[in-house]
Amino acid sequence: MQITRKLAKCFIALTVLAGMVVLVRALTLWQVGHHGWFLYLAILSVFASRLRVSLPGVNGSMSVNLPFILLALSRLSFSEAILIAGLSTFAQCLPKPGKQIKLVQTIFNVSNIMNATGLGFLAARSAMNGNLLDPSLLIGLAGVTFFLAETVPVAAVISLTEHKSTAKIWRELFVLTSPYFFLSAGVAATAVAALRHAGWSIPTLTLILMYSTYRSFRAYFHPLAVGVPVPSGARSMSAAAGR
């Protein structure tokens, strides 16, 4: 038991270290660029991150900020995308008034999301530089990369703490969270395609759509969150960045 706990702590420390490297890299690469779009998407992503839904049996929540992270991956620079992902995830982790922030969980969540965003950015830019995919399809590639890069570390941490197969836990997380990821990737891809024609109004329309999604998720999950059991891996998803 002590060995697995130490391994879990080491894995969390490595994830946080990688996140710090990504953040430092983003800050060192920062240049004067799309400041208007950066501020616009940052504000929308922070607002969306506060639209949280408690999942049944999960020590965490799901917010609807992913489309804005994917939009940042497509529209902005590496530095801007990383900062938007980290900022919105930190905002999502802030507790309600009267409750204390879970510092270690928050640091892990922010680091994990920045790592996933960095990998998603590299995957999308590699395909773009090779002219392999249409810009709207790049969102799909970035979304799949992001999904794997976010959920695999979470499954690994749960595996180390619960002595269960990482693959089994990841499958449980996939069943629980994949509909949201696929929906978000589809919304973001549609928004990227529409940006060519409608410009600044599209992210706001995306927020309105995701607010409707949030209301639907809340109506469905809130009654379940009070007593319906879910797979054991999902019960321990306290480090899943709310996904």
- DSSP states of 187-219 as a string? HHHHHHHHHHHHTTHHHHHHHHHHHHHHHHHHH
17 pLDDT band, cuts 50/70/90, is: very high
Q: What is the pLDDT of residue 130?
A: 57
133 pLDDT band, cuts 50/70/90, is: low
DSSP state of 1: -
Q: Tell which wins on pLDDT, 36 or 18.
A: 18
Helix, strand and coil content of the chain, in percent to the nearest 5, comes to 75, 0, 20
Overall residue count recorded for the chain in this entry: 243
56 pLDDT band, cuts 50/70/90, is: low
pLDDT above 80 for 152? yes
CA angle 47, 78, 87 (to 5 degrees): 25
Nearest to 150 by CA among 189, 123, 122, 110: 110
DSSP state of 53: E
pLDDT above 80 for 34? no
CB 45 within 8 A of CB 72: yes
Q: Domains of the chain (ranges plus CATH)? A: 2-239 (1.10.1760.20)
What phi and psi values does residue 50 have, to the nearest 5 degrees?
A: -85, -5
Q: What is the pLDDT of residue 146?
A: 92
Q: What is the pLDDT of residue 33?
A: 66
Separation in Å, CA 238 to CA 41, 62, 105, 140, 147: 27, 11, 7, 26, 17
Nearest to 184 by CA among 210, 162, 163, 204: 210
Neighbouring C-beta atoms of residue 17, cutoff 10 Å: 11
Q: Tell which wins on pLDDT, 243 or 34.
A: 34
In the numeric block, which tokens belong to residue 136? 């709207």
Residue 116 to residue 108: CA distance in whole angstroms = 12
Q: What is the pLDDT of residue 232?
A: 45
Share of the chain above pLDDT 70, in %: 80
61 pLDDT band, cuts 50/70/90, is: low
CB 56 within 8 A of CB 221: yes
Q: What is the pLDDT of residue 188?
A: 86
Average pLDDT, the chain: 81
Dihedral Cα 124, 125, 127, 129, nearest 10 deg: 160
Neighbouring C-beta atoms of residue 103, cutoff 10 Å: 9
CB 179 within 8 A of CB 150: no
pLDDT above 70 for 223? no
The 3-state DSSP class for residue 175 equals helix
Neighbouring C-beta atoms of residue 11, cutoff 10 Å: 17
Q: What is the pLDDT of residue 80?
A: 93
Q: What is the pLDDT of residue 234?
A: 40
> pLDDT by residue (tens digit) across 85-113?
999 999 999 888 888 888 998 999 999 99
238 pLDDT band, cuts 50/70/90, is: very low
Which of 26-40, 138-152, 183-197 has the largest mean confidence? 138-152
Dihedral sign, Cα of residue 167, residue 172, residue 177, residue 182: positive
- The amino acid sitting at 59 is N
